[in-house]
């Protein structure tokens, strides 16, 4: 019975991940933002047992959401992969050029850091509202005609409410 269990573990590819395979990256929804708007920053850990996440100070920005944490695990054809991310929504406090300083995390006993990212904050005299890019990836990226189809909101024909006919008054006669 133990032999079958060991064979099963070997066949499913369940091996501890190596720090050499691990990645720690930063993603931003935009590298330029108008004053008064917000954007998303995500720190992604791939293929490693992570601990001791240390976010940067986010100087020049206020945190309006987060940290939000998500994790995934998948096994395809015996190859397993896992990832975890920490995301924040940031709003600039002043105009100018700012850097999101490196975040750090310990993965399998080794310290990893992200690269700093430059964010440009422009004035917004017209009060334009931007939405951060909510899609990190899209299934149909290679099929761009589908993008516009699936992003459309459904439209329904406008129907007028039906008018009720007034009730006929009955004549009553007293005998």
pLDDT score recorded for residue 79: 85
Kindly report the average pLDDT of the chain as a whole number: 76
CB under 8 Å, gap of 24 or more: what pairs does 68-75 form? 75/12, 75/13
Chain mean position to CA 96:
25
pLDDT score recorded for residue 142: 43
pLDDT at 56 over 80: yes
Coil, strand, or helix at residue 8?
helix
Instruction: Name the pLDDT band for 164 (thresholds 50, 70, 90).
Output: low
Q: Residue 160 to residues 15, 123, 142: CA-CA distances in angstroms?
A: 64, 45, 42
For the chain, which residues make up each domain, given as ranges?
17-132
Other C-beta atoms lying within 10 Å of the C-beta of residue 108: 17
Percentage of the chain modeled with pLDDT above 70: 67
Longest CA–CA span in the chain (Å) reads 104
Residue 175, CB half-sphere, CA atoms under 13 Å: how many? 0
The neighbouring-strand residues paired with 97 are 120
CB under 8 Å, gap of 24 or more: what pairs does 71-79 form? 75/12, 75/13, 78/11, 78/12, 78/13, 79/13
Task: Out of 1.10.3720.10, 2.30.30.30, 2.60.40.10, 3.40.605.10, select the CATH number for domain 17-132.
Answer: 2.60.40.10
Coil, strand, or helix at residue 120?
strand
pLDDT, tens digit, 9 for 90 and up, residues 89-134: 999 999 999 999 999 999 888 899 999 999 999 998 888 888 776 5
The candidate with the shortest Cα–Cα distance to 67, out of 94, 85, 48, is 85
Cβ pair 47, 17 in contact under 8 A: yes
Q: What is the pTM of this model?
A: 0.62
């Amino acid at each position: 019975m133990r032999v079958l269990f060991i064979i099963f573990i070997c066949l499913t590819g369940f091996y501890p991940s190596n720090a050499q395979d691990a990645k720690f990256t930063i993603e931003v929804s935009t590298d330029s933002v108008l004053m008064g708007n917000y954007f998303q920053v995500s720190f992604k850990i791939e293929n490693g047992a992570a601990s001791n996440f240390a976010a940067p100070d986010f100087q020049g920005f206020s945190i309006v959401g987060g940290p939000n944490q998500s994790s995934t695990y998948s096994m395809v054809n015996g190859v397993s992969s896992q990832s975890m991310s920490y995301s924040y929504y940031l709003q600039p406090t002043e105009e100018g050029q700012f850097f999101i300083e490196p975040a750090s995390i310990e993965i399998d006993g080794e310290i990893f850091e992200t690269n700093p990212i430059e964010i440009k904050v422009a004035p917004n005299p017209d009060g334009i509202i931007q939405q951060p890019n909510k899609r990190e990836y899209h299934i149909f990226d290679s099929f761009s005609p589908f993008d516009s189809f699936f992003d459309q909101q459904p439209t329904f024909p406008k129907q007028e409410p039906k008018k009720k006919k007034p009730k006929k008054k009955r004549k009553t006669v007293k005998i």
